[in-house]
Amino acid sequence: MATKNVDVLIIGAGPGGIFCAYELIHKRPDLKVMIVEKGRSIEKRQCPKRTTGKCVGCKPCSITTGFAGAGAFSDGKLSLSPDVGGTLPDILGYDAATKLINESDEIYLSFGADKSVYGINKEEQIRDIRRKAINANLKLVECPIRHLGTEEGYKIYSKLQEHLTEKGVELKFNTMVEKILVEDGAATGVCTSDGETIYAKEIVSAVGREGADWFRAQCEEIGIETKPGTVDVGVRVEVRDEVMQSLNENLYEAKLIYHTKTFDDKVRTFCTNPSGEVATEYYEGGLAVVNGHAYKSAEYKTNNTNFALLVSKNFTKPFKTPIEYGKKIAELANMLCDGKILVQTYGDFKRGRRTTDERLARNNLIPTLKDAVPGDLSLVFPHRIMVDLDEMIQALDKVTPGIASEETLLYGVEVKFYSNKVIVNKDFETSIKNLRAIGDGAGITRGLQQASANGLCVARSILEKMS
Ligand SMILES: Cc1cc2nc3c(=O)[nH]c(=O)nc-3n(C[C@H](O)[C@H](O)[C@H](O)COP(=O)(O)OP(=O)(O)OC[C@H]3O[C@@H](n4cnc5c(N)ncnc54)[C@H](O)[C@@H]3O)c2cc1C
DSSP 355-406: --HHHHHH-SSPPSSTT-EE--GGGTS-HHHHHHHHHHHHHHHHHSTTTT-T
Query: What distance in Å separates the CA atoms of residue 386 and residue 101, rounded to the nearest whole number?
Result: 36
Sequence length of the chain is: 467
| Residue nearest ligand 1's atom 50 by CA | 74
Query: What distance in Å separates the CA atoms of residue 215 and residue 179, rounded to the nearest whole number?
Result: 9
* pTM as predicted: 0.80
Instruction: Look at residue 53 in the predicted model and tell me its pLDDT.
Output: 64
The residues of the chain scoring below 70 in pLDDT are 53-54, 418-419
Instruction: Look at residue 228 in the predicted model and tell me its pLDDT.
Output: 78
Query: What distance in Å separates the CA atoms of residue 390 and residue 43, rounded to the nearest whole number?
Result: 42
Ligand 1 pocket, mutate which of 22, 23, 37 (most atoms under 8 A from CB):
37
C-alpha 83 to ligand 1 mean position (Å): 19
Do the beta carbons of residue 67 and residue 39 sit within 8 Å? yes
| Residue nearest ligand 1's atom 19 by CA | 447
Instruction: Pick the closest to residue 419 from 203, 206, 211, 190 (CA basis).
Output: 211
C-alpha 295 to ligand 1 mean position (Å): 19
CB within 8 A of 403, min separation 6: which ones? 237, 239, 243, 393, 396, 397
273-312: burial string, b at 16+ Cβ within 10 Å, e else = bbbbbbbbbbbbeebbbbbbbbbbeeeeebebbbbbbbbb
Ligand 1 atom closest to the CA of 209, numbered from 1: 30
Residue 446's alpha-carbon distances to 189, 419, 464, in angstroms, are 27, 11, 26
DSSP 8-state symbol, 354: -
Q: Angle, nearest 10°, between helix axes 212-222 and 322-336?
A: 150
Cβ < 6 A, ligand 1 pocket: 11-17, 36-39, 64-66, 69-71, 74-77, 79, 85, 176-177, 206-211, 214, 271, 281, 291, 293, 439-441, 445-449, 451
Give the containing element (helix H, strand E) for 178: strand 177-183
Ligand 1 pocket, mutate which of 209, 216, 218, 287 (most atoms under 8 A from CB):
209
Instruction: Look at residue 419 in the predicted model and tell me its pLDDT.
Output: 55
Instruction: Pick the closest to residue 449 from 67, 204, 86 (CA basis).
Output: 86
Query: What distance in Å separates the CA atoms of residue 142 and residue 144, rounded to the nearest whole number?
Result: 7
Query: What residue type is 443 in one-letter code?
Result: G
Instruction: Pick the closest to residue 442 from 416, 418, 415 (CA basis).
Output: 418
| Residue nearest ligand 1's atom 18 by CA | 447
Give the CA dihedral 216, 219, 221, 222, nearest 10 degrees.
Answer: 160
